[in-house]
Chain A
Amino acid sequence: MTDFQAIMPTLIVTLTAIVTMVAESFQPKGDKVPLGGLGLIGLAGAALASVLLWGRDLTGFGVMRADNFALFVNVTLCAIGILTILFSGPVVDRERIPSGEYYALTLFGISGMMLMAGASDLLLIFLALEVMSLSVYVLTGIRRSSEKGAEAAFKYFLLGSFSSAFFLYGIAFTYAVVGSTRLDQVAATLAGQADGPSVMVLLALGLLLVGFAFKVSAVPFHMWTPDAYEGAPTVVTGFMSTGVKAAAFAAFIRVFLSAFEPLHAEWAPVVSAIAVATMVLGTTVGVAQNNVKRMLAYSSIAHGGYLLVGLVAANSVGKAGMLFYLLAYGVTNVAAFGTMALLSTEDHPHENVRDFAGLWQRRPVLAAMMTVFLLSLGGLPPTAGFVAKWYVFAAAVQEGYFGIAIIGVLTSVISVYFYLRIVVMMYMSEDVAVDPAPLVPRSALAGLALATAAIFYLGVVPTRVINLAVQSVQGLF
């Protein structure tokens, strides 16, 4: 029975997805079943199940862990999912996206992400990765009339499959050396090798690294990100820039800090180089963007770099810091994209920096909340983004990685420049752009308000969540 308890959160989300899909086909003509509401209930249930499982450290079917680490990520994913669904309502109606498929795919994606966070076997991680990726590929291209969407989905799919192949090869090589794909056995075998790692192991390590780096869009495997993020419906961009990243990082942490922990000395230099390149490229190229979606795409690349700093440090501060970062970044980024999605229509995408001109005059509350999201992404106190960045840089400094920490803080100053460009437009521009979007429904506003409150909560009194994050990584790896 504990097997099923351990996979309960994933199970709930999967079942909700199926119910959503079935409900749509049985709904009477002209009558709308609130599919989004179903999804919200399912995600809330999954979050509740995760909270109830806290501290019990169950294992399901030998390959699925319900340890605090996975549960923390689960709650993060539920938060991301709930916000996404709250912002989706008006978008789905306005852009005539088939709602049954949309909500079902979102939920399937989340179930894949949850599987990924808890999987303790490389093969299961791969399966979870595919469940997640396939859902997101389809979501990217779900606006069938949009050329950009089709291009983005195709590009994402091709490059994504390519990286999946790398990942699979990595698993194969690992199996060839270890004789198992279970993470604990991989760790045990690698730790037992006295005379250094063999070429095979290094090859496996490198291939897995490529696979993960692709999914977290780290430089130089980030090429697909701006295109996919730009082409996807904005609300989906918010979802995949946070959910996919959170899940991929959870698995990345688990694989690299448990199974391949004995080889830390081998991969740390490579990952730190990737981290530096990711931070620098993400922020500097972000400066040059006029399309806000692309700008936030580069910004999310840069945030991947900051997260990698925590991975390089690999101490308990770094691990807990990454969890905190994923939560803070997830809530903030999904809300920032959500605001944009709520403001745009099919004909008038609210994407260019100029579209934000005078938003303050038109919609003061939305502008204020967007400012909070942007300041949090920029890492200014007293927001969640500041504590998150502080946390990972503290981890780096603790391990003596002063250089990486300094590059990290300096690039985050650069990133503040482009976040502030939007604020300048909203508040300081003389002209006022047309407001394409009709009313923003209360449910979506509630989502934004919830995100704002969470950002201040995590920024001002982060104690409780920090303690939970610390517990999540204790005695785990």
Chain B
Amino acid sequence: MSFPLLSTVVFAPLLGALLLLAIPNRQNARDGLVRGLALGISLLVFVLTLLVWRAFDGRSADFQLVERVAWIPAFGIEYHVGVDGISLWLIVLTGFLTPLALLSSWIGIEKKVKEFSFFVLALQAGMLGVFVSLDLFLFYIFWDAMLIPMYFLIGIWGYDQRIYAAIKFILYTMAGSVLMLIAIIGLAVLHAQATGQYSFNLLRLYELSIEPRTQLWFFLAFALAFAIKVPLFPFHTWLPDAHVQAPTAGSVILAGVLLKMGTYGLIRFAFPLFPDAALQVAPFLGTLAVIGIVYGALVAMVQPDMKKLVAYSSVSHMGFIVLGICAANVQGMQGAVYQMLNHGVSTGGLFLIVGMLSDRRHTRQIAEYGGLKHVMPKLVAAFLILTLSSIAMPGLNGFVGEFLTLMGAYRWRPVLAAVAATGVILSAVYMLWMFQRVNYGALTNPKNKQLPDLSPREWAAIGPTLVMAVVMGVVPNLFLAPMAPAVDRLVQRLHAQRPALARTAAHDVVGAGRVRRAGKVTAGQVRPLRVEVRPLRVEPSRAALSLEP
């Protein structure tokens, strides 16, 4: 067996966290050491995630770097991890954002630095575990265990309403996920009925043929858990509370990675495990996503609190991702995965900026600011780039993702795409308006006159997000290419002709047959979409992939 790279990536932060606990407490005398050590560990983990990227073969759709060990044989439970093009970038994103989150809390977190760093690193381990798990039991363990450190991060280091927000966060998320747990057990039981033994192996469960009614129920159980996590309208109410009350590092990780676990779950589990039910429910989910896009944008517009504004903008942006997934075609899925990364970078960056302002002035009210351009031009420049990235300005990362998801959505349900597109405009309205009120105009508030500009430490925290916003906007293919084979296989799996489909009406069966032939033609020549060259190229054979008559 080769070097267990993925396990190292997952457990390195956990070991690091335990190492931190071993440092004796002495009246905060060693906070500097603890901060440095935690940052060092998180940077090491980032390097490890980059090694995963290096080791990854971008031409294959298979799971790679797979490790598989029996864990609880009585139930066919395995320690089974692997990475494909979809999870690859989420792992790198997690590695990328955690050091930034730690840097951002260098001075904001004053009490119990050791415990804070412990929980951040433990959280990172949990998130990485979610992204690499290929066994549903293992996945659920990471999925649920990860709530605990986040709960403490919000509850101990958050703002005034932190306890309420922390409890709401954990109960909301748990209520959704326990039903998924029942469905996971149900799947294993179905596997046992079909083959005589239990299995939680995702790849084996993909092969199960499940009767439509059961599929629907199981899909709904999975989708609810993920919809709450995303959060999809109307399950989003925990998010503004959690975001506003969380410390900066918590918000960065929450927006940057945690929400992605919901959409990742839809892509990895809910859709491919129950394709018939998924395609059946997709229009409904897509509609909710579009409602979320518009609703989130409208609510964001009227927020007086910057952090809350960014939180609601997340509801809106995450809607695009869900819409892309529901479209269930290559463009939609690729756009969704890409948008997950974009949102992590740009919203993570925005929360960093808001945190820096809040560190200086201890307020996040937009009305308290104004004319910041005159006192801290560097911070404002960074703020501008991230704002533009968030509103999907061409040339920056947000554009590519939103464009792809909208294109996918248009090929699926033009009306939904049209309504969703208004979200793009609205995002420009609320983001630019906020930017204008905070940074432009006269410097009216005397308290803002002496604010220092970005310190080197803050540069180190915000700089990488700026670089990534540009890089991901200019050379999207660097990121899209490795995920393309996995996305293609996923889309084919969703639309493959299945025995269960025989129940549908005659003309659908004809359509499905067409799909299969189209799939055969393109299977060999899968290419990533080269957006920067010919954005509108839609391969005719791919168009036939849609189940639409």
Decide if B182 touches A393 in the complex (CB within 8 Å).
yes
Cα–Cα distance between A461 and B77 once the two chains are bound (Å): 11
Q: Which among A364, A381, A402, A420 is the interface contact of B182 at CB below 8 angstroms?
A: A402
Measured CB to CB, the closest approach of chain A to B213, in angstroms, equals 12
Cα–Cα distance between A394 and B200 once the two chains are bound (Å): 12
The reply on B284 being an interface residue by CB < 8 A is no
Decide if B167 touches A420 in the complex (CB within 8 Å).
yes
Decide if B170 touches A466 in the complex (CB within 8 Å).
no
Decide if B167 touches A424 in the complex (CB within 8 Å).
yes
How many chain B residues touch A (CB < 8 A): the figure is 33
Measured CB to CB, the closest approach of chain B to A77, in angstroms, equals 24
Decide if A428 touches B147 in the complex (CB within 8 Å).
no
The reply on A382 being an interface residue by CB < 8 A is yes
Q: Which among B74, B141, B156, B170 is the interface contact of A420 at CB below 8 angstroms?
A: B170
Per the 8 Å Cβ criterion, residues 382-403 of B in contact with A are: none
The stretch that binds B, out of A53-61, A172-180, A408-416, A437-445, is A408-416
Per the 8 Å Cβ criterion, residues 147-176 of B in contact with A are: 147-148, 151-152, 155-156, 162-163, 166-167, 170-171, 174-175
Please give me the residue from chain B that is nearest to A391 by CB atom.
Answer: B75
Cα–Cα distance between A345 and B163 once the two chains are bound (Å): 30
Q: Which among A364, A405, A417 is the interface contact of B171 at CB below 8 angstroms?
A: A417
Cα–Cα distance between A405 and B179 once the two chains are bound (Å): 9
Measured CB to CB, the closest approach of chain A to B365, in angstroms, equals 24
Residues of B within 8 A of A364 (CB): 25
Q: Which among A380, A381, A406, A467 is the interface contact of B74 at CB below 8 angstroms?
A: A467
Which of B25, B74, B162, B189 has the most A CB atoms < 10 Å from its CB?
B74
Q: Which among A380, A402, A466, A470 is the interface contact of B144 at CB below 8 angstroms?
A: A380
Q: Mark A442-471, 1 if CB is under 8 A from B, else 0.
A: 000000000000000000011100110010
Residues of A within 8 A of B206 (CB): none
Please give me the residue from chain A that is nearest to B143 by CB atom.
Answer: A381
Decide if A428 touches B155 in the complex (CB within 8 Å).
yes
The reply on A397 being an interface residue by CB < 8 A is yes
Per the 8 Å Cβ criterion, residues 432-475 of B in contact with A are: none
Cα–Cα distance between A78 and B96 once the two chains are bound (Å): 49
Given A417-B167, A420-B167: A390 touches B72 (CB 8 Å cut-off):
no
Please give me the residue from chain B that is nearest to A406 by CB atom.
Answer: B182
Per the 8 Å Cβ criterion, residues 223-251 of B in contact with A are: none
Cα–Cα distance between A417 and B166 once the two chains are bound (Å): 11
The reply on A183 being an interface residue by CB < 8 A is no
Decide if B144 touches A381 in the complex (CB within 8 Å).
yes
Residues of B within 8 A of A417 (CB): 167, 171
Residues of B within 8 A of A427 (CB): 152, 155-156
Residues of A within 8 A of B181 (CB): 390, 393, 409
Residues of B within 8 A of A394 (CB): 75, 185, 188-189
Q: Which among A386, A402, A410, A412 is the interface contact of B186 at CB below 8 angstroms?
A: A402
Cα–Cα distance between A410 and B172 once the two chains are bound (Å): 11
Decide if A380 touches B147 in the complex (CB within 8 Å).
yes
Cα–Cα distance between A203 and B486 once the two chains are bound (Å): 63
Measured CB to CB, the closest approach of chain B to A337, in angstroms, equals 22
The reply on A398 being an interface residue by CB < 8 A is yes
Residues of B within 8 A of A422 (CB): none
Q: Which among B25, B179, B192 is the interface contact of A409 at CB below 8 angstroms?
A: B179
Given A380-B147, A413-B174, A417-B171: A470 touches B74 (CB 8 Å cut-off):
yes
Residues of A within 8 A of B178 (CB): 409-410, 412-413
